């Protein structure tokens, strides 16, 4: 069960360090699975899509479970 929610228009940091901007939530046309449409904030600024469950999911790194993407707190 997912305890996190996605925020459209917010920046997220991938566990490898790069930053991304969440543009939209979309539905997969065949499965109706929720998908996140997001943009790289570096390099070619490409547009990517990933299942919401994966975007908000955990990843094992060095034996620890961490968030795959973490919202960046832009408040001062």
What are the residue ranges spanned by the domains of the chain?
Answer: 11-71
- How confident is the model over 54-71, as a mean pLDDT? 94
Question: Over 70: is that where the pLDDT of 2 sits?
Answer: no
Q: What is the pLDDT of residue 3?
A: 79
Q: What is the pLDDT of residue 75?
A: 57
Question: Over 80: is that where the pLDDT of 76 sits?
Answer: no
Q: Read off φ and ψ for residue 48, nearest 5 degrees.
A: -130, 160
Q: Read off φ and ψ for residue 52, nearest 5 degrees.
A: -55, -40
The answer to whether 25 and 32 are in contact (CB under 8 A) is no
Q: What is the pLDDT of residue 73?
A: 82
Task: Determine the topology of domain 11-71 in CATH.
Answer: SH3 type barrels. (2.30.30)
Over residues 11-59, the pLDDT tens digits come to 999 999 999 999 999 999 999 999 999 999 999 999 999 999 999 999 9
């Amino acid at each position: 069960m997912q305890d996190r929610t996605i925020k459209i228009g917010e920046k997220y940091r991938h566990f490898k360090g790069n930053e991304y901007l969440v543009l939209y939530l979309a539905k997969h046309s065949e499965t109706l699975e929720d998908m996140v449409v997001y943009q790289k904030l570096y390099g070619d600024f490409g547009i990517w899509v990933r299942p919401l469950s994966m975007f908000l999911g955990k990843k094992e790194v060095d034996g620890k479970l961490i968030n795959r993407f973490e919202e960046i707190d832009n408040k001062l």
